[in-house]
Structure 1
Amino acid sequence: MTLHKKTLLVTGLTLLALFGLLYLTSQLILSNSFQQLEDQYTIQNVQRAQNALDNEIKAFKSIALGWSKWDDVYHFVDDKNQAFIDSNITATAFTDSDVDLMVFVDKYNRIVLDRAFDKSTGEAIPVSPALKTLINQHDMLVNYGDVTSEWAGLLKLPQGYLMTVSLPILTSLGEGPINGALIWGRYLNTERIAQLSDALDLNVKLVGYYDLNLPQAVLTAKQNLTSDHPFFAIPENAARIAGYTVIHDLDGKPIALLRVELPRTIYAQGQQTISYFLLALVLIGITYSVVNFIHLDRSVLRWLSALSAAVTQVRTTGNLKLPINIPSHDELANLAAGLQSMLDALAVSRNQLQAANAELEQRVQARTTDLTKAIALLQVEVTERQQAQERALEASRFKSQILANVSHDSRAPLSTIMLYVESMQRGYYGPITDKQAARLEGVMTSATQLLSFINNLLDEAQLNSGSLKLNSAPFSPDHLLRDVGFVLTPQAERKGLTLAFEIDPTLPASIMGDAERLKQVVLNLIDNAIKFTDQGGITVSAMPHTETEFMLTIADTGRGIPAEAQSRIFDAFWQVDGKVKGHGVGLGLSIVKQIITLMGGTIDVTSELGHGTTFTVILPLRLPPPPQSVERASAPTLTA
């Protein structure tokens, strides 16, 4: 996948994630805010309805006060004269006062007169027996502590909800003693509830508190209405919301729910606002992403593509002199300049190698000519000097071998260079001058480093591709470390360093593993320690770690590694100090890390500047299987 596609994919996924997060946030914050505002508005309207109902009761009480403070009524409850009834307890009185029933009680709590009037038929009807029962059972309706006592509220009767007022009967001057009680009632029927709704421009209803088959919304409201929270609002659907409060009777028990239903205007406006807000954010996000992608494409991706194309062209053509130009002044331009410098250095190095190879070819040809002449002379004296003939034959064989090597190594210039440089250093072609020896040593060093670099590159490629396989076989840790010491001790001694090996006697003498790869790891770590240690020495230790693991430690007294660099020393092509010459290209520790990981182990480093470095390798401890006994062996024994 190209960088363009990756950038588009990441940008698109990021936008989707941000839009989803914004949507959830808006729903959690803005939607909840609008919901709370809607609940407050609904509860305010429930309070308006409750206040309107209270005002209706107060107005009804004001009318009843004119009757309770009337001398005629005061005397009627004592003498029960018919003239009062005939002249005052009439249909006109009920209609004018908008009262549905009247009950007169004397000071002995006896009902003197009760009258009810059906305004639809214009006829008198009996007072509800349930009301009489309530009057007999509740002293607060008939007994008063003083002339200011009264009671007004709603009662639940079989006929419906009754707006009830109970007042003490006093003289026209409002004086006592109290001579009884006057009880008026007005039914809150559908018509009166509708009038209340029209006056408030609300949909007001009374719902029986103990009615059966109540809707779930009403049941939820009942559960949430308490003395601390006397009002509750709940959405009934996407278009309507209802608010509730409780109405209590004489005993303070709930008898009804005052319900106010409203359209969800605030909620709809809130959802619309959220939609507009999200749409604006989407447009802004898309615009920003497009502008950002265009900027990224013009300032980064385009030049990366050009850089990639240039590198590909160099790889396919082999032309190290192709120019790499990035017309910018940023990190990409620095990268292009660095790559150009590297290509120039590689071109110079290749030219030097070709020149050295040509020089070696000339020398080989010259020596070959000399050898040919010598062989011709020896053939003349073959009968006289057999030993000279044998040397001539040996020289001829050597010449043939050199020619064969030259023919073979022409396909591998690096191996040819190393072969002939080493041959010349050993004097196979005659004595050489000090200047020539120094030059040959430089060529050999460069070739060795390049060969090591190529080998490391091959190992790195195999490790990265997963094609590097380990060979598991029994080996001796002691012998392995002795071989390593035999190879590297001279190198350490040339720098005046000591190289010590410590093997724990409890470590098994033979374990399973890839001895060659483990030797490569140890050689690399000790070689690094020798390179970066100026005085003191290196100590290599091998010991058991757990029942299933063993541990190798390579500790030196060298310069140490900065703390900020310790996390990167196992990265490929990375060095602690890029300015240090002759210390490789930064692949050794990367290969070590990957080989140890492939073996199922771990490697850690602890270091302090000026106090040396310690590498700790922990590997699985696997023992070779025990040899089978002769009696159980099924295969024949082979001897050499």
Structure 2
Amino acid sequence: MSLRLKTLVITSMTLAILLVVLTVSLRFILLESYRQIEISDAGQNLDRGMNALMGSLENMDRTTQDYSYWDDLYNYMITKDRTFADVNLVDSTYSNTRWNFLFLFDVKGHVVYKGAFDLEQKENMAVPSAWEHAIRSRLPRLSPQKPGTAISGLLQVPEGVMMVVAREILQSNLNGPTMGVMVTGRLLSEPENQRLAEQTRLNLQWQAVQSRNANSRFHEVTKNLKANHARVIQPINDTNLIAVELIHDLDGQPVLYMILDLPRTIYMQGQKSLYYLITAVVICASVFSAMILWLLERFVLSRMTRLSAEVVALGEGQDLSRRITANGNDEIGQLSDSINRMLKTHEDLHVLLDAEKGKSERLLHNVLPDAIANKLKEQSGVIAESYAEVTILFADIVDFTRMSTQVSPENLVNMLNEVFSAFDKLAEKHGLEKIKTIGDAYMVVGGLPEKRSDHAEAVARMALDMLHTLQEISRSRGQRLQVRIGINTGPVVAGVIGTKKFLYDLWGDTVNTASRMESSGVPDKIQVTESTYQRLQGSFQFQPLGERDIKGKGRIPVFILLEEKSRKDAA
């Protein structure tokens, strides 16, 4: 046998053995991999179905939360005034929220309100006794253990399976005490199941565990489900597979099957890939495989691997000053240069962005209180809050209008800047919040946005310091400056108004009365209302002025704050 023939025989035998080995091994490895991918894909589709169900439950929870933290509902639980239910718990409420029922229980477990709605017929219906029994019997379990939390899940009723959400009834600021529990439910009806299927774009079906309509093929699959293994994915034939997940209710009992009937597209593609791969190997292995692999490894793959590793390292390190090591003058080298230019541009933009962000942060914190500025950055919409008791101070420079006609504008502004800057330092010293200046008027408040129990004492001390500071400024400038100061204590509403030029301001009768105390006061005196006097009489000395006519308030008692008592006197 010639060497040429030996070479031919050995090559043929080698290729034949290689073909057999590749066929067997690739069939086992490749098809098994595709089967695992197929199972993984089916599991992901089950996850999508579960996410759709949980998303629907979360949306229902958000809607329930909006109602359970509604001040009007809170008041209704106190007054039991049916007008609220007649106006707010109407057909459109159930239709918009897609609730099939709503229960309101007081803290003793008594039903304050119950209602049911047929979402398919769009009409009210009597609350089925089975639904009410299912909720009443689980009321202790449906009562949230922590404020601001929810209990949600599934319940079995004769009509099928229901999604149920329960939340405590609190005020809109989450203050209590709780007035009871709000429970809402939605039946997993055929339209609801269809909506979930359309949302996931899957051939998704929901089957109650107790349903008697399941076909034999479905029973054959679900019999493999166990309590500790609530998911099964099983091929039916070469073209279809079925994936089922068992879902438990609030009591931990199996209540619902989620079913996916999927074509075995991935597996069939694996069979085609196996055929094409083996064909390609037979044709190319004898001539080109080694050469192509070597060329690819030598000139492309090794360089791309290094480039990929450096890019991954850059991404993990978050160091914008690092650069890719560029090599070669071909496309890979050009790609490295492009990445480096992009990194340089990104680094420059990041520096500029940090600088501008710092400016914006400083400007926002100069305009608004820190707590309000931080809240404004975290949320959108109106920021407002009511405070049961704060202390407000108004100060106004006496004869400022006359003074403005006697000095130059520059000197006038410098004088105001010196006075108000000194007042700002006093506000910071005493932990108070400056609200605004209007002309020669200065407004400061204690007790917000961070609540504090000694707000009245802090404002009183600042007022006394303001008189002392103004005397020092008068001596240093050689110009007599006087100020009227008015103080009042009471409730206010505070919030941010405006969308472009933000303004943090206060509203309420307390603000108006504090302003009246200043405008009707005496120069270089601190005039306070009775509410402030009651808070401070134990630690400060006052001069009663009796009742005075105050614009818009009539005759009310007022007092002059003189000084703070020593600890011995206060005792």
Band the TM-score falls in, shorter-chain normalisation: 0.3 to 0.5
TM-score, L = length of structure 2: 0.44
Which structure would you say has the larger Rg? Answer: 1
> Which of the pair is proportionally richer in strand?
2
TM-score, L = length of structure 1: 0.40
